[in-house]
C-alpha cells in the first residue's frame, strides 16, 4: 500500500516559511548592527599637523591616506602599541585595541587609521612621506556606500521587520486565507492509490456490505448508470459506534472498485484559522475530482456537520466549512464517479442540510456485531495467526457480547503477543481468554499489594456478588472470581457465563441483576458491619438498571408504560434524556430508591441465610486469589448439601471453557473504573 501524504506544501509549510524569513531577518539585522557598531567603535583620534609630521619623522607611520578634508594616519604596529598606551592610557582601551588589531590582522583586512589631522597646504609632504618610507595615497571615497549602509540598518530594516510582524499578527487575528496561500490545502489528508482492502476483510456487517455493493458497481461502471439516466448517489453516511469497521468498510469500497481512497477527519477541517476549513474542503474536492473515479472518506463528519444552531452565535469557522462542503457536494458531477463516504457515531446532531437528497442521502448502519458477527470477525483476524486445536472462537465470541470489531481484532493480537511472551509458537484458547480479560478489564496488576484486611474485604465483596448470583435463578452462572487487581481499576471481579446471546431481558432478570450488583456491598455490611468505597460502580450500575426499567422499559407499576426517557445518542454512551415534568422526575427518583432498597434487602437476606457458604468460599478465595466457577460451585454444593450434577446434564454445570466476559457481569470494584456495559 502506498500510503502517501498527498501534498506536502500546505499552510503549515507556509507558516514555517514565514517563521524562517522572520528569524533570518532578525539574525542578519543583529549581525550587521554588531559589525557596524564595531567599526564605529574604532574612530581615529584627531591630532595636530605638527604632531603628524613628528610621527612621520620618527618613522612611526606606516600608511597615510590623503582625503579631501582630512589626512588619515596609520601607525606602524610597534609604534602603535607604544603610542596607544601613552596616548590613551587606560588598560581597558588598550586591550580592546589589541583585540581589534588582532581581529583585523587575522582577517587580513585593511587596518583602521589611528589618527587624523586637517589638510594643510604643504607641498613638501609627499617628499617627506616618501623619505620616511610611508605608503600613501588619496582616499577612495566610500562615504556614500557607508551612508547607504547606515540608512539600511537603522531605518529600512526595522521598518521591513515591523511590516512583516504586523502582517503575521493580522493573519492570525482576521479572516481570510488569501495572501501567500495561507490556508490552502490539507495537512492531514491521506490518499491511497489502492487500499488493498476488500469486503472479505470486513465481517459481520452484511447489511452494510450489501448496500455498499451497489455503490461499488457504480464506481466500476459509472457509464452504465448514467447512460440509462439513473441518478447516482453522491454520498453515503456510515453510522455506528466507534470501532465497528466504518473506516474499514469505506476502504473496502475503494478496494473493491479499485479506485483511489482519499481520507480525512472532520476535525482536521476545523482549525483556529478562520477560512482554512472551507479552503481545505475546496482543495479536497478539486483534487478528488482530478482523480475521479475515487472515494473520499470523511471521518467524524459531526465535527463539521453539527446543526448550525445560532443560539450561542455559532461557530463561524465550522459553519463556513459546512457551507463549503454543501456547495461542493451540490456542485460536482456524479457521472465522473466521485463518491463521498462519511462516518459518524452521532447522526442525531448532524445538520439536516447534510442529509438532504443529493448529499448524504443514504444512511448505512454499522452497528455492534451480534454473536455470529463476532465469530466471523474473530475468524477474519485469526486467519493470519497460528492457533492450536484448543481454540474455540465461538466460545470467545459468546464471552464478548458488546465488543466491537476493533476490540476483537485487539484480543487476537493480545493473545498472539501473550503466546510469544511465553515462548510458544501457537496461540491457545487460554491465551485468548486472557486477552479477553485484558481488553475488557485491563492487565493484572500483581505489584499492587493489598493489606490483609483489604484482601478480606474484597474477597467477601466478590463472593457476595457470586453467591447472590448462584442463589438466584434468573442470573447467569458464575465462571470465575478473582481478587487480583486489574490496571483498569478493578480490585476484583466476578465473571458470569451466558449460555447464549440474549437480545431481550425479562423483568425478573433485570431485578436479579440489581440484586447481584448490590450483593458485594451487602456482604461487606453483613460481615464487617461497615461499608467501603469499593461498591461505587456497583451502585451506579444498579441505579442505571433500575432507572431504565422505570423510564424506558415500562416495568414499574407506578408509571406503567409511560415513556419517561429517551436515548439521545444511541451509538455513543446512550445517555438518556428525561422527557417529563419536574414533579414526575421527583417521583421517578423515589421509585428508583424504593427498588434499590428492596433489592439491597433481598441481597442481605440471601447472604445472611447462607453465611456458612459465604465464609467458606471467601476463605478459599483469600488463599487462592482466583477461583473457577467449578471450585465455587463445589464448595457451594457441599455447604448446601446439593448433590453433584449429572455430567450428562450439560445445562447444570457451567462449561469450564465457556468463560464469559459479558461486560456487564464483570463487576468492577472501583469508582474510577470505566463502565463496562452489556
Q: Single out the residue of 184, 209, 234, 246 in contact with ligand ADP (rule: CB under 6 A).
A: 246
Name the one range near ligand ADP by CB under 6 A: 236-244, 475-483, 511-519, 534-542.
236-244
The C-alpha angle with vertex 676 and arms to 673 and 677, in degrees rounded to 5, equals: 145
Q: Single out the residue of 240, 266, 373, 520 in contact with Zn ion (rule: CB under 5 A).
A: 520
- Catalytic site includes residue 462: yes
H runs (alpha helix) in 152-300: 157-173, 206-220, 222-228, 246-257, 266-269, 276-291
By beta-carbon proximity to Zn ion, the closer residue of 375 and 483 is: 483
Query: DSSP of 430-450, one letter per residue?
Result: HHHHHHHHHHHH--B-TT-PP
By beta-carbon proximity to ligand ADP, the closer residue of 114 and 192 is: 192
Q: In the complex, what is the shortest distance from the CB of residue 518 to Zn ion, in angstroms, rounded to a whole number?
A: 9
**Grid cell at residue 288:** 478528488
Of the candidates 507, 509, 521, the residue with the CA atom closest to the CA atom of residue 601: 521
4: which strand partners? Answer: 191
Does 244 engage in binding with ligand ADP (CB under 6 A)?
A: yes
Identify what 242 binds: Zn ion, ligand ADP, none; CB under 5 to 8 Å per kind: ligand ADP
Q: In the complex, what is the shortest distance from the CB of residue 291 to ligand ADP, in angstroms, rounded to a whole number?
A: 22
Identify what 306 binds: Zn ion, ligand ADP, none; CB under 5 to 8 Å per kind: none
Residues 6+ apart with CB under 8 A from 21: 164
Residues 6+ apart with CB under 8 A from 186: 6, 7, 10, 264, 268, 280, 283, 284
481: which strand partners? Answer: 494, 627
**Grid cell at residue 231:** 441518478
Identify what 94 binds: Zn ion, ligand ADP, none; CB under 5 to 8 Å per kind: none
From residue 243, alpha-carbon distances to 41, 314, 408, 479, 488 in Å are: 71, 30, 10, 28, 19
Q: In the complex, what is the shortest distance from the CB of residue 408 to ligand ADP, in angstroms, rounded to a whole number?
A: 7
Neighbour count for residue 601 (Cβ, 10 Å) = 13
By beta-carbon proximity to Zn ion, the closer residue of 369 and 520 is: 520
CB burial of residue 162 (10 Å; 0-12, 13-18, 19+):
exposed
Q: In the complex, what is the shortest distance from the CB of residue 378 to ligand ADP, in angstroms, rounded to a whole number?
A: 9
Does 409 engage in binding with ligand ADP (CB under 6 A)?
A: yes
Of the candidates 239, 234, 208, the residue with the CA atom closest to the CA atom of residue 348: 239
Contact positions with Zn ion (CB under 5 A) in 529-558 = 538
Q: Supply the angle between the helices 611-624 and 582-609 in degrees, to the nearest 10.
A: 90
Does 265 engage in binding with ligand ADP (CB under 6 A)?
A: no
Of the candidates 268, 300, 260, 284, the residue with the CA atom closest to the CA atom of residue 4: 260
| Closest residue to ligand ADP: CB criterion | 405
Does 334 engage in binding with ligand ADP (CB under 6 A)?
A: no
Q: In the complex, what is the shortest distance from the CB of residue 676 to Zn ion, in angstroms, rounded to a whole number?
A: 12
By beta-carbon proximity to Zn ion, the closer residue of 218 and 493 is: 493
- Interface characters, 335-354, with ligand ADP (x: CB under 6 A): --------x-----------
Interstrand relation of 338-344 and 235-239 (parallel, antiparallel or unpaired): parallel
Upstream peptide bond of 293 is cis (omega within 30 degrees of 0): yes
Contact yes or no for 364/211 (Cβ under 8 A): yes
By beta-carbon proximity to ligand ADP, the closer residue of 117 and 244 is: 244
Does 245 engage in binding with ligand ADP (CB under 6 A)?
A: yes
Q: How far apart (Å, rounded) are the C-alpha atoms in residues 43 and 601?
A: 100
Does 242 engage in binding with ligand ADP (CB under 6 A)?
A: yes
Q: In the complex, what is the shortest distance from the CB of residue 201 to ligand ADP, in angstroms, rounded to a whole number?
A: 6
Identify what 520 binds: ligand ADP, Zn ion, none; CB under 5 to 8 Å per kind: Zn ion
Q: How far apart (Å, rounded) are the C-alpha atoms in residues 45 and 236?
A: 85
Q: Which of 205, 437, 462, 525 is catalytic?
A: 462
Name the one range near Zn ion by CB under 5 A: 91-99, 193-201, 558-566, 661-669.
661-669
Q: In the complex, what is the shortest distance from the CB of residue 491 to Zn ion, in angstroms, rounded to a whole number?
A: 9
Name the one range near ligand ADP by CB under 6 A: 185-193, 403-411, 646-654, 665-673.
403-411
Name the one range near Zn ion by CB under 5 A: 17-25, 113-121, 404-412, 514-522.
514-522
The CA-to-CA distance between both ends of the chain, in Å, stands at 37
* Residues in binding contact with ligand ADP, number by CB under 6 A: 17
Does 248 engage in binding with ligand ADP (CB under 6 A)?
A: yes
Name the one range near ligand ADP by CB under 6 A: 12-20, 111-119, 202-210, 306-314.
202-210
Of the candidates 333, 334, 277, 339, the residue with the CA atom closest to the CA atom of residue 304: 277
Residue for cell digits 583602521? Answer: 112
Q: In the complex, what is the shortest distance from the CB of residue 319 to ligand ADP, in angstroms, rounded to a whole number?
A: 26
Does 203 engage in binding with ligand ADP (CB under 6 A)?
A: yes
By beta-carbon proximity to Zn ion, the closer residue of 337 and 520 is: 520
Name the one range near Zn ion by CB under 5 A: 231-239, 421-429, 517-525, 623-631.
517-525
Q: CB-side exposure of 327: number of CA atoms within 13 Å?
A: 13
Interstrand relation of 338-344 and 294-299 (parallel, antiparallel or unpaired): parallel
Does 667 engage in binding with Zn ion (CB under 5 A)?
A: yes
Of the candidates 233, 251, 257, 206, the residue with the CA atom closest to the CA atom of residue 362: 233
Q: In the complex, what is the shortest distance from the CB of residue 250 to ligand ADP, in angstroms, rounded to a whole number?
A: 8
Catalog residues that contact ligand ADP under the rule CB under 6 A.
202-205, 242-248, 343, 377, 380, 405-406, 409
Active site residues: 462
Task: Provide the binding-site residues for Zn ion, judged by CB under 5 A.
Answer: 520, 538, 667, 669
Amino acid at each position: 500500500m502506498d500510503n502517501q501524504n498527498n501534498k506536502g506544501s500546505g499552510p503549515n509549510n507556509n507558516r514555517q516559511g514565514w517563521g524562517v524569513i522572520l528569524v533570518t531577518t532578525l539574525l542578519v539585522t543583529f549581525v550587521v548592527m554588531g559589525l557596524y557598531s564595531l567599526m564605529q567603535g574604532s574612530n581615529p583620534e584627531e591630532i595636530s599637523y605638527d604632531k603628524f609630521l613628528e610621527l612621520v619623522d620618527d618613522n612611526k607611520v606606516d600608511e597615510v591616506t590623503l582625503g579631501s578634508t582630512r589626512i588619515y594616519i596609520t601607525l606602524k604596529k610597534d609604534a602603535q602599541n607604544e603610542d596607544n598606551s601613552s596616548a590613551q592610557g587606560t588598560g581597558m582601551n588598550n586591550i580592546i585595541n589589541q583585540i581589534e588589531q588582532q581581529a583585523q590582522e587575522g582577517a587580513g583586512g585593511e587596518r583602521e587609521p589611528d589618527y587624523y589631522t586637517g589638510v594643510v597646504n604643504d607641498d613638501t609632504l609627499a617628499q617627506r612621506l616618501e623619505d620616511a618610507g610611508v605608503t600613501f595615497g588619496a582616499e577612495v571615497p566610500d562615504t556614500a556606500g557607508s551612508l547607504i549602509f547606515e540608512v539600511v540598518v537603522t531605518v529600512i530594516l526595522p521598518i521591513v521587520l515591523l511590516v512583516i510582524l504586523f502582517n503575521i499578527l493580522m493573519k492570525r487575528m482576521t479572516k481570510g486565507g488569501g495572501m501567500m496561500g495561507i490556508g490552502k490545502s490539507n495537512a492531514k489528508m491521506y490518499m491511497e492509490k489502492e487500499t488493498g482492502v476488500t469486503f472479505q476483510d470486513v465481517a459481520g456487517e452484511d447489511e452494510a456490505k450489501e448496500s455498499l455493493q451497489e455503490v461499488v458497481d457504480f464506481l466500476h461502471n459509472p457509464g452504465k448508470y448514467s447512460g440509462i439516466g439513473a441518478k447516482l448517489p453522491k454520498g453515503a453516511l456510515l453510522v455506528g459506534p466507534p470501532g465497528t469497521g466504518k473506516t474499514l468498510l469505506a476502504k473496502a469500497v475503494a478496494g473493491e472498485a479499485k479506485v483511489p481512497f482519499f481520507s480525512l477527519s472532520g476535525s482536521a477541517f476545523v482549525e483556529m484559522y478562520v477560512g482554512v476549513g472551507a479552503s481545505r474542503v475546496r482543495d479536497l474536492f478539486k483534487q478528488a475530482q482530478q482523480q475521479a473515479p475515487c472515494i473520499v472518506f470523511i471521518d467524524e463528519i459531526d465535527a463539521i456537520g453539527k446543526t448550525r444552531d445560532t443560539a450561542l452565535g455559532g461557530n463561524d469557522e465550522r459553519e463556513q466549512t459546512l457551507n463549503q462542503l454543501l456547495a461542493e457536494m451540490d456542485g460536482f458531477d456524479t457521472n465522473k464517479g466521485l463518491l463521498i463516504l462519511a462516518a459518524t457515531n452521532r447522526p442525531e446532531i448532524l445538520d439536516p442540510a447534510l442529509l438532504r437528497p443529493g448529499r448524504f442521502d443514504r444512511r448505512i448502519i454499522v452497528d455492534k456485531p451480534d454473536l455470529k458477527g463476532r465469530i466471523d470477525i474473530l475468524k477474519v483476524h485469526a486467519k493470519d495467526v497460528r492457533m492450536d486445536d484448543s481454540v474455540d472462537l465461538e466460545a470467545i465470541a459468546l464471552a464478548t457480547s458488546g465488543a466491537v470489531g476493533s476490540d476483537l481484532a485487539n484480543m487476537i493480537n493480545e493473545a498472539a503477543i501473550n503466546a510469544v511472551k511465553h515462548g510458544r509458537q501457537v496461540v491457545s484458547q487460554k491465551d485468548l481468554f486472557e486477552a479477553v480479560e485484558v481488553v475488557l478489564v485491563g492487565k493484572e496488576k500483581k505489584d499492587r499489594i493489598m493489606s490483609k484486611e483489604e484482601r478480606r474485604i474484597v474477597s467477601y465483596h466478590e463472593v457476595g456478588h457470586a453467591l447472590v448470583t448462584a442463589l438466584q435463578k434468573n442470573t447467569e452462572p458464575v465462571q470465575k472470581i478473582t481478587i487480583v487487581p486489574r490496571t483498569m481499576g478493578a480490585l476484583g471481579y466476578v465473571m458470569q457465563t451466558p449460555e447464549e446471546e440474549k437480545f431481550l431481558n425479562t423483568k425478573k432478570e433485570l431485578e436479579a441483576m440489581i440484586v447481584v450488583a448490590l450483593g458485594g456491598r451487602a456482604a461487606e455490611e453483613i460481615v464487617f458491619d461497615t461499608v467501603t468505597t469499593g461498591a461505587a460502580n456497583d451502585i451506579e450500575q444498579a441505579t442505571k438498571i433500575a432507572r431504565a426499567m422505570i423510564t424506558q422499559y415500562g416495568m414499574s407499576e407506578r408509571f406503567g408504560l409511560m415513556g419517561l426517557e429517551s436515548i439521545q445518542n444511541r451509538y455513543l454512551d446512550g445517555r438518556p434524556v428525561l422527557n417529563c415534568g419536574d414533579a414526575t422526575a421527583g417521583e421517578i427518583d423515589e421509585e428508583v430508591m424504593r427498588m434499590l432498597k428492596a433489592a439491597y434487602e433481598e441481597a442481605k437476606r440471601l447472604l445472611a441465610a447462607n453465611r456458612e457458604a459465604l465464609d467458606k468460599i471467601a476463605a478459599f478465595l483469600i488463599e487462592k486469589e482466583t477461583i473457577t466457577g467449578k471450585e465455587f460451585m463445589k464448595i457451594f454444593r457441599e455447604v448446601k448439601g446439593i448433590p453433584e450434577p449429572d455430567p450428562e446434564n450439560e445445562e447444570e454445570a457451567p462449561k469450564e471453557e465457556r468463560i464469559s466476559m459479558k461486560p456487564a457481569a464483570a463487576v468492577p470494584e472501583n469508582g474510577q473504573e470505566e463502565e463496562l456495559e452489556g
